Copies of this chain bind each other. A is one copy, B any other.
Amino acid sequence: MAGNGRASGGVEAVPASQQGMRRQNLAVVIGAVAAHGPLSRADVAGHTGLTRPAVSSMVDELIGRGALTETETAPSGRVGRPGRALALNDRGPAGLGLEIGVTHLAACVVDLRGEPRVWRRVERANAGRPAGQVLAEAAALGAEAEAEADALGLRVAGRVLAVPGVVPNEPSGLVANAPNLGWQAVRPADHWPDPDTVPEPENEANLGALAEQWHQGHPAETFVHVSAEAGIGGALVVGGQLFRGARGFAGELGHLPVHPEGAPCACGARGCLEQYAGEAAVLREAGLAHVGDPVALLAERAGAGDEATLRALDRAGRALGLALTSAVNLIDPDGLVLGGAYAELADWLLPSIRAELAARITVRPWAPEAVRPSALGRRGPVLGAAWSTVRQIIADPSRLQALAR
């Protein structure tokens, strides 16, 4: 599930038990294999500090649950009995990621190694359509993907749905508001055809941020992820964990006041970032109509040197730089990541963003390269949704059912 990093709720520390110890050590073992490629039991013992017998016992259990497999033993060339290589099972538990975008639906299944094994993507104009209809189509796409995964020997163990909207901490499972889809207080579970495959919804910017984090492989990074798809989404990752804030609204920087007395915004305030760096604002400033794929259009015009487009992107970059200055002052992150559509426009946005940050961040160390485009771009949210399940399994494999086979 994508619920990592939620407020820990009750503060009463829970007593430690022997079962808890076992659970944590199972996670340590599978975590070592996940982090350092194929390892023998002895290697795992060396990496983790557990003894070889303890590792052996847990490996047995993890194999029984389908999480690990013994693979072909590569000749090591070293003296002594060769170890038997352990790896994450590529025919075991898997994660299903679903995405509902304004103009498309997507699904993706990843195996325990994180490798995408099934892809589905269809264009659909979802804005304004009844939520039930859209969700039914997403469910159908997910069922197709699951069937294909099944044929590959994969067993989907969790489902997460990326939506371009706000998903509050409480009550869970609710999409409170997705303006670009026209959704208000939609609960996917209420419209899902099959109650056994209901996904957990999560904000797409949050999932994109997690995807970036896992893709880069810097495990404990703290960064701010900004993405654009119709609205402006933002997400905070702190020490490798999603930071959702007290109610789940953290990181939403579309309405940060960048020019306090500036243009009035639909939200009722003035000078919000969205009025300068939102898709609609940039298109307006560039003198372009909102048709087809507006991001591709902007990139094409900017690449061709169109003055108005370059000016619009420069203005957007400066506004983003201002908003990110606030973020850096408050959060002190390792880096800033431009995701979604911003990743595709990074060539034209980065210079003004970096210039603005360099001019305004003066009392602490700051390197322009700390701002970087996302490596995943628009695929981030689906991948993040699918990876969420897999990461959760690796963080606590004790929840896996033992294989019935």
Interface residues of A (CB under 8 A from B): 7-18, 20-21, 24-25, 27-28, 31-32, 35, 47-50, 166, 177, 219-222, 234, 236, 238-240, 243-260, 267-269, 322-323, 325-327, 329-334, 359-365
Complex Cα distance, B11 from A47, in Å, reads: 13
**A179 vs chain B, min Cβ distance (A):** 9
B48 touches A15 (CB 8 A): yes
Q: A13-B28, A250-B331 are in contact. List 15 more A-B contacts (CB 8 A).
A: A7-B239, A8-B220, A9-B220, A12-B48, A16-B16, A18-B21, A238-B243, A246-B333, A249-B329, A249-B332, A252-B329, A252-B364, A255-B360, A269-B361, A323-B326
Choose one: B9, B20, B248, B260; the contact of A16 (CB below 8 Å): B20
**A34 vs chain B, min Cβ distance (A):** 11
Complex Cα distance, B221 from A362, in Å, reads: 31
Complex Cα distance, B11 from A334, in Å, reads: 16
**A47 vs chain B, min Cβ distance (A):** 8
**A9 vs chain B, min Cβ distance (A):** 7
A14 touches B49 (CB 8 A): yes
B362 touches A332 (CB 8 A): no
B325 touches A256 (CB 8 A): yes
User: 7 A-B pairs, CB-CB below 8 angstroms?
Assistant: A8-B220, A221-B246, A238-B238, A252-B364, A255-B361, A257-B326, A267-B363
**A168 vs chain B, min Cβ distance (A):** 9
Complex Cα distance, B35 from A240, in Å, reads: 30
B11 touches A15 (CB 8 A): no
Choose one: B220, B239, B267; the contact of A362 (CB below 8 Å): B267
Choose one: B24, B326, B332; the contact of A245 (CB below 8 Å): B332
B13 touches A24 (CB 8 A): yes
Complex Cα distance, B238 from A244, in Å, reads: 10
A31 contacts across to B, CB distance below 8 A = 12-13
Q: A257-B326, A329-B255, A363-B252 are in contact. Are A15 and B25 (CB under 8 A)?
A: yes
A249 contacts across to B, CB distance below 8 A = 329, 332, 364
Complex Cα distance, B50 from A18, in Å, reads: 12
Q: Which of A236, A244, A360, A365 has the most CB of B within 10 A?
A: A360
Complex Cα distance, B293 from A279, in Å, reads: 51
A329 contacts across to B, CB distance below 8 A = 249, 252-253, 255-256
B24 touches A15 (CB 8 A): yes
